Protein backbone atom coordinates (compact mmCIF):
# COMPACT_ATOMS: atom_id res chain seq x y z
CA UNK A 1 0.00 0.00 0.00
CA UNK A 2 1.35 3.41 -0.99
CA UNK A 3 2.22 5.34 2.16
CA UNK A 4 1.99 8.74 0.52
CA UNK A 5 -1.54 8.27 -0.80
CA UNK A 6 -2.61 6.59 2.45
CA UNK A 7 -1.38 9.60 4.43
CA UNK A 8 -2.97 12.11 2.06
CA UNK A 9 -6.37 10.44 2.13
CA UNK A 10 -6.30 9.83 5.89
CA UNK A 11 -5.52 13.45 6.77
CA UNK A 12 -7.98 14.80 4.23
CA UNK A 13 -10.83 12.63 5.50
CA UNK A 14 -10.07 13.53 9.14
CA UNK A 15 -10.02 17.24 8.28
CA UNK A 16 -13.36 16.92 6.51
CA UNK A 17 -14.98 15.51 9.64
CA UNK A 18 -14.40 18.55 11.87
CA UNK A 19 -16.40 21.76 11.59
CA UNK A 20 -15.04 25.16 12.66
CA UNK A 21 -17.57 25.14 15.50
CA UNK A 22 -16.24 21.83 16.79
CA UNK A 23 -12.70 23.20 16.60
CA UNK A 24 -13.65 26.38 18.45
CA UNK A 25 -12.95 28.64 15.48
CA UNK A 26 -15.05 31.63 14.41
CA UNK A 27 -17.24 30.96 11.42
CA UNK A 28 -16.86 33.56 8.67
CA UNK A 29 -19.77 34.53 6.43
CA UNK A 30 -20.32 33.16 2.97
CA UNK A 31 -20.32 29.64 1.63
CA UNK A 32 -17.43 27.34 2.52
CA UNK A 33 -16.14 25.41 -0.44
CA UNK A 34 -14.70 22.54 1.59
CA UNK A 35 -16.37 20.20 4.09
CA UNK A 36 -14.93 20.52 7.54
CA UNK A 37 -11.80 22.56 8.21
CA UNK A 38 -9.61 24.32 5.68
CA UNK A 39 -5.91 23.47 5.54
CA UNK A 40 -5.07 26.87 6.94
CA UNK A 41 -7.35 26.28 9.91
CA UNK A 42 -5.70 22.96 10.69
CA UNK A 43 -2.30 24.63 10.42
CA UNK A 44 -3.42 27.34 12.83
CA UNK A 45 -4.70 24.81 15.36
CA UNK A 46 -1.53 22.71 15.08
CA UNK A 47 0.81 25.69 15.34
CA UNK A 48 2.55 25.16 11.98
CA UNK A 49 2.65 27.11 8.75
CA UNK A 50 0.09 26.51 6.03
CA UNK A 51 2.90 25.49 3.69
CA UNK A 52 4.18 22.91 6.16
CA UNK A 53 0.76 21.41 6.81
CA UNK A 54 0.09 21.31 3.05
CA UNK A 55 3.29 19.30 2.65
CA UNK A 56 2.11 16.88 5.34
CA UNK A 57 -1.30 16.44 3.78
CA UNK A 58 0.30 15.72 0.44
CA UNK A 59 1.67 12.60 2.09
CA UNK A 60 5.14 13.61 3.20
CA UNK A 61 5.47 12.54 6.85
CA UNK A 62 9.11 11.56 6.61
CA UNK A 63 11.12 12.97 9.49
CA UNK A 64 8.16 14.62 11.24
CA UNK A 65 8.73 14.89 14.99
CA UNK A 66 6.47 13.35 17.62
CA UNK A 67 5.61 16.82 18.84
CA UNK A 68 4.25 17.84 15.45
CA UNK A 69 2.32 14.59 15.15
CA UNK A 70 0.78 15.12 18.57
CA UNK A 71 -0.14 18.71 17.69
CA UNK A 72 -1.71 17.47 14.46
CA UNK A 73 -3.66 14.81 16.37
CA UNK A 74 -5.03 17.47 18.73
CA UNK A 75 -5.96 19.81 15.88
CA UNK A 76 -7.83 17.04 14.07
CA UNK A 77 -9.31 15.70 17.32
CA UNK A 78 -8.08 12.19 16.58
CA UNK A 79 -9.17 9.38 18.86
CA UNK A 80 -6.76 6.77 20.21
CA UNK A 81 -6.97 4.52 17.15
CA UNK A 82 -6.60 7.42 14.71
CA UNK A 83 -3.61 8.84 16.55
CA UNK A 84 -1.91 5.43 16.59
CA UNK A 85 -2.61 5.12 12.86
CA UNK A 86 -1.05 8.54 12.18
CA UNK A 87 2.10 7.50 14.06
CA UNK A 88 2.21 4.22 12.12
CA UNK A 89 2.04 6.13 8.83
CA UNK A 90 4.83 8.44 9.97
CA UNK A 91 6.98 5.50 11.07
CA UNK A 92 6.57 3.84 7.69
CA UNK A 93 7.38 7.08 5.86
CA UNK A 94 10.60 7.43 7.84
CA UNK A 95 11.92 3.95 7.09
CA UNK A 96 13.43 2.69 3.89
CA UNK A 97 11.10 1.01 1.44
CA UNK A 98 10.71 -2.69 2.20
CA UNK A 99 9.50 -5.35 -0.23
CA UNK A 100 6.06 -6.80 0.36
CA UNK A 101 6.37 -10.03 2.33
CA UNK A 102 3.91 -12.86 2.46
CA UNK A 103 3.13 -14.31 5.86
CA UNK A 104 1.95 -17.91 5.70
CA UNK A 105 -1.83 -18.06 5.32
CA UNK A 106 -1.83 -20.90 7.85
CA UNK A 107 0.58 -19.34 10.33
CA UNK A 108 1.24 -22.14 12.82
CA UNK A 109 -0.22 -21.91 16.29
CA UNK A 110 1.98 -23.42 18.99
CA UNK A 111 0.78 -26.59 20.68
CA UNK A 112 0.79 -24.87 24.07
CA UNK A 113 -1.54 -22.19 22.73
CA UNK A 114 -3.96 -24.83 21.46
CA UNK A 115 -3.84 -26.52 24.89
CA UNK A 116 -4.69 -23.17 26.47
CA UNK A 117 -7.65 -22.77 24.10
CA UNK A 118 -8.91 -26.27 24.87
CA UNK A 119 -8.65 -25.59 28.61
CA UNK A 120 -11.20 -22.76 28.20
CA UNK A 121 -14.28 -24.97 28.22
CA UNK A 122 -17.09 -22.55 29.11
CA UNK A 123 -16.37 -19.70 26.69
CA UNK A 124 -15.73 -19.44 22.95
CA UNK A 125 -12.05 -18.66 22.38
CA UNK A 126 -9.90 -18.42 19.29
CA UNK A 127 -6.61 -17.11 17.94
CA UNK A 128 -6.50 -14.84 14.92
CA UNK A 129 -4.02 -12.70 13.03
CA UNK A 130 -4.20 -9.09 11.86
CA UNK A 131 -5.90 -10.13 8.61
CA UNK A 132 -8.78 -11.55 10.70
CA UNK A 133 -7.98 -15.18 9.81
CA UNK A 134 -9.07 -17.63 12.53
CA UNK A 135 -6.04 -19.87 12.99
CA UNK A 136 -7.16 -21.94 15.99
CA UNK A 137 -10.13 -22.22 18.35
CA UNK A 138 -11.62 -24.31 21.10
CA UNK A 139 -14.68 -26.48 20.54
CA UNK A 140 -17.09 -23.74 21.60
CA UNK A 141 -15.28 -21.22 19.38
CA UNK A 142 -15.74 -23.42 16.31
CA UNK A 143 -19.40 -23.92 17.27
CA UNK A 144 -19.95 -20.18 17.65
CA UNK A 145 -18.63 -19.55 14.14
CA UNK A 146 -20.16 -22.62 12.53
CA UNK A 147 -21.70 -20.41 9.84
CA UNK A 148 -18.27 -19.09 8.89
CA UNK A 149 -16.90 -22.63 8.71
CA UNK A 150 -19.68 -23.68 6.34
CA UNK A 151 -17.44 -22.31 3.60
CA UNK A 152 -14.61 -24.68 2.58
CA UNK A 153 -12.11 -21.82 2.22
CA UNK A 154 -9.35 -21.99 4.84
CA UNK A 155 -8.30 -20.28 6.92
CA UNK A 156 -11.74 -18.96 7.82
CA UNK A 157 -11.68 -15.17 7.62
CA UNK A 158 -14.04 -12.67 9.27
CA UNK A 159 -13.82 -10.12 6.46
CA UNK A 160 -14.50 -12.63 3.68
CA UNK A 161 -17.46 -14.00 5.64
CA UNK A 162 -18.99 -10.57 6.24
CA UNK A 163 -18.64 -9.24 2.70
CA UNK A 164 -18.78 -12.36 0.52
CA UNK A 165 -21.13 -14.76 2.33
CA UNK A 166 -24.88 -14.09 2.42
CA UNK A 167 -25.17 -15.96 5.74
CA UNK A 168 -23.44 -13.03 7.43
CA UNK A 169 -26.51 -10.80 7.11
CA UNK A 170 -28.49 -13.09 9.42
CA UNK A 171 -25.53 -13.89 11.69
CA UNK A 172 -24.85 -10.19 12.43
CA UNK A 173 -28.15 -8.46 13.36
CA UNK A 174 -26.36 -5.10 13.00
CA UNK A 175 -24.54 -5.99 9.80
CA UNK A 176 -23.57 -2.38 8.99
CA UNK A 177 -21.76 -1.96 12.29
CA UNK A 178 -19.99 -5.30 11.91
CA UNK A 179 -18.93 -4.35 8.39
CA UNK A 180 -17.69 -0.91 9.46
CA UNK A 181 -15.72 -2.34 12.37
CA UNK A 182 -14.18 -5.06 10.22
CA UNK A 183 -12.91 -2.63 7.60
CA UNK A 184 -11.62 -0.24 10.28
CA UNK A 185 -9.65 -3.09 11.89
CA UNK A 186 -8.12 -4.05 8.53
CA UNK A 187 -7.26 -0.40 7.82
CA UNK A 188 -5.55 -0.18 11.21
CA UNK A 189 -3.54 -3.31 10.43
CA UNK A 190 -2.57 -1.91 7.04
CA UNK A 191 -1.08 1.13 8.74
CA UNK A 192 0.73 -1.03 11.28
CA UNK A 193 2.12 -3.49 8.72
CA UNK A 194 1.91 -2.05 5.19
CA UNK A 195 4.31 -4.65 3.77
CA UNK A 196 2.12 -7.69 4.44
CA UNK A 197 1.41 -9.15 1.01
CA UNK A 198 -1.39 -11.35 2.37
CA UNK A 199 -3.24 -8.31 3.70
CA UNK A 200 -2.77 -6.46 0.43
CA UNK A 201 -4.13 -9.46 -1.48
CA UNK A 202 -7.14 -9.68 0.85
CA UNK A 203 -7.96 -5.98 0.46
CA UNK A 204 -7.61 -6.32 -3.31
CA UNK A 205 -9.91 -9.34 -3.41
CA UNK A 206 -12.59 -7.70 -1.28
CA UNK A 207 -12.34 -4.41 -3.19
CA UNK A 208 -12.88 -6.27 -6.46
CA UNK A 209 -15.78 -8.41 -5.26
CA UNK A 210 -17.68 -6.13 -2.87
CA UNK A 211 -18.89 -2.58 -3.42
CA UNK A 212 -19.84 -2.46 0.28
CA UNK A 213 -16.21 -3.08 1.17
CA UNK A 214 -14.87 -0.56 -1.37
CA UNK A 215 -17.07 2.21 0.00
CA UNK A 216 -15.99 1.58 3.58
CA UNK A 217 -12.32 1.19 2.69
CA UNK A 218 -12.32 4.60 1.03
CA UNK A 219 -13.50 6.21 4.30
CA UNK A 220 -10.09 5.54 5.96
CA UNK A 221 -11.65 4.83 9.34
CA UNK A 222 -9.56 2.93 11.88
CA UNK A 223 -10.40 1.09 15.08
CA UNK A 224 -8.70 -0.66 18.00
CA UNK A 225 -10.27 -3.97 18.94
CA UNK A 226 -9.35 -4.72 22.56
CA UNK A 227 -12.69 -5.22 24.29
CA UNK A 228 -16.39 -4.62 23.83
CA UNK A 229 -19.77 -6.25 23.24
CA UNK A 230 -20.67 -8.37 20.24
CA UNK A 231 -24.24 -9.19 19.18
CA UNK A 232 -24.61 -12.35 17.11
CA UNK A 233 -27.61 -14.43 15.98
CA UNK A 234 -26.60 -18.06 15.92
CA UNK A 235 -28.76 -20.40 13.80
CA UNK A 236 -28.94 -22.98 16.61
CA UNK A 237 -29.21 -20.99 19.86
CA UNK A 238 -30.47 -17.59 18.70
CA UNK A 239 -29.38 -14.15 19.91
CA UNK A 240 -26.11 -13.82 21.81
CA UNK A 241 -24.86 -10.69 23.58
CA UNK A 242 -21.21 -11.48 24.29
CA UNK A 243 -18.48 -9.59 26.10
CA UNK A 244 -15.10 -9.98 24.44
CA UNK A 245 -11.50 -9.36 25.42
CA UNK A 246 -8.54 -9.43 23.04
CA UNK A 247 -5.01 -10.14 24.26
CA UNK A 248 -1.87 -10.04 22.13
CA UNK A 249 0.23 -13.20 22.28
CA UNK A 250 3.63 -11.72 23.10
CA UNK A 251 5.52 -14.82 21.93
CA UNK A 252 3.69 -14.88 18.59
CA UNK A 253 4.00 -11.58 16.75
CA UNK A 254 0.76 -10.51 15.09
CA UNK A 255 -1.48 -13.07 16.80
CA UNK A 256 -4.22 -12.30 19.32
CA UNK A 257 -6.30 -14.42 21.67
CA UNK A 258 -9.99 -13.51 21.85
CA UNK A 259 -12.35 -14.85 24.50
CA UNK A 260 -16.12 -14.30 24.52
CA UNK A 261 -18.05 -14.46 27.80
CA UNK A 262 -21.61 -13.88 28.99
CA UNK A 263 -23.02 -12.06 31.99
CA UNK A 264 -23.71 -14.56 34.80
CA UNK A 265 -27.34 -15.66 34.83
CA UNK A 266 -28.09 -14.00 31.48
CA UNK A 267 -30.00 -15.59 28.58
CA UNK A 268 -26.72 -15.56 26.66
CA UNK A 269 -25.12 -17.66 29.41
CA UNK A 270 -27.90 -20.21 29.00
CA UNK A 271 -27.49 -20.09 25.23
CA UNK A 272 -23.74 -20.74 25.49
CA UNK A 273 -24.40 -23.84 27.59
CA UNK A 274 -26.87 -25.02 24.97
CA UNK A 275 -24.30 -24.28 22.25
CA UNK A 276 -21.67 -26.30 24.13
CA UNK A 277 -24.09 -29.24 24.35
CA UNK A 278 -24.86 -28.96 20.63
CA UNK A 279 -21.14 -28.82 19.79
CA UNK A 280 -20.44 -31.94 21.87
CA UNK A 281 -23.31 -33.74 20.10
CA UNK A 282 -21.96 -32.78 16.69
CA UNK A 283 -18.49 -34.01 17.62
CA UNK A 284 -19.93 -37.28 18.95
CA UNK A 285 -21.81 -37.82 15.68
CA UNK A 286 -18.64 -37.27 13.70
CA UNK A 287 -16.68 -39.71 15.84
CA UNK A 288 -19.34 -42.46 15.74
CA UNK A 289 -20.15 -42.29 12.03
CA UNK A 290 -18.76 -45.38 10.25
CA UNK A 291 -15.76 -44.54 8.16
CA UNK A 292 -15.24 -46.15 4.75
CA UNK A 293 -12.54 -48.78 4.64
CA UNK A 294 -9.30 -47.45 3.17
CA UNK A 295 -8.80 -48.38 -0.44
CA UNK A 296 -6.19 -51.09 -0.94
CA UNK A 297 -3.51 -50.47 -3.55
CA UNK A 298 -4.10 -52.59 -6.60
CA UNK A 299 -1.37 -54.89 -7.79
CA UNK A 300 -0.77 -55.95 -11.31
CA UNK A 301 -0.71 -59.67 -11.95
CA UNK A 302 2.97 -59.45 -12.82
CA UNK A 303 4.00 -57.67 -9.61
CA UNK A 304 1.93 -60.10 -7.50
CA UNK A 305 3.60 -63.19 -8.95
CA UNK A 306 7.18 -61.94 -9.08
CA UNK A 307 7.42 -60.29 -5.65
CA UNK A 308 9.09 -62.43 -3.02
CA UNK A 309 9.80 -61.81 0.66
CA UNK A 310 7.87 -59.41 2.92
CA UNK A 311 5.74 -56.81 1.27
CA UNK A 312 7.29 -53.32 1.24
CA UNK A 313 5.84 -50.73 3.65
CA UNK A 314 2.93 -48.82 2.14
CA UNK A 315 3.00 -45.05 2.83
Whether residue 75 contacts residue 46, with contact meaning beta carbons closer than 8 Å, is answered with yes
Closest CA to 202 of 215, 187, 192: 187
* Calpha distance 96→126 (Å, rounded): 35
193-195-198-200 Cα dihedral, nearest 10 degrees: 90
The predicted model scores a pTM of 0.83
| Residue-level pLDDT at 171 | 98
Q: What would the mean pLDDT of 68-72 be, rounded to a whole number?
A: 97
30 conformational bin, left if phi > 0, alpha if psi -120 to 50, beta if neither: left
Same-fold call for 3-93 versus 111-286: no
Q: How confident is the model at residue 99 (pLDDT cuts 50, 70, 90)?
A: low
Domain coordinates in residue numbering, the chain = 3-93, 111-286
> What value does the mean pLDDT of the chain take?
87
Question: By C-alpha distance, which of 157, 149, 145, 163 is closest to 106?
Answer: 157
User: How confident is the model at residue 2, as a pLDDT?
Assistant: 86
What is the enclosing helix (H) or strand (E) of 265? none
User: Does the domain spanning 111-286 belong to CATH 3.30.450.180?
Assistant: yes
Q: Is the pLDDT of residue 310 over 90?
A: no
Neighbouring residues of 292: CB distance < 8 A, sequence distance ≥ 6:
none
Position 292 scores a pLDDT of: 47
Out of 1.10.260, 1.10.287, 1.10.1740, 3.30.950, the CATH code matching 3-93 is: 1.10.260
Hey, which residues does 229 pair with through a beta bridge? 243
**Mean pLDDT lowest among 118-122, 178-182, 298-302:** 298-302
Angstrom distance (rounded) from CA 97 to CA 57: 20
CA Rg, the chain, in Å?
26
Candidates 80, 72, 64; CA nearest to 15 is: 72
pLDDT category at 306 given cuts 50, 70, 90 is: very low
pLDDT in tens, 183-214: 999 999 999 988 899 999 999 999 999 999 99
Q: How far apart are CA 126 and CA 158, in angstroms?
A: 12
Amino acid sequence: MDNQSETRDFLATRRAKITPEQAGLPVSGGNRRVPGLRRGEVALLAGVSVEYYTRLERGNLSGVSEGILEALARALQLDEAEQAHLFDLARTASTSRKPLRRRPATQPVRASVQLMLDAISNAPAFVRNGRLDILAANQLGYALYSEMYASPVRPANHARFIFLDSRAYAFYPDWDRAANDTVAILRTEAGRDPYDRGLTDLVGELSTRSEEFRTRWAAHNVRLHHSGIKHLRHPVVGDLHLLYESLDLSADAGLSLLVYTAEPGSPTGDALRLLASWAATQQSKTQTEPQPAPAQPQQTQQSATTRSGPAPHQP
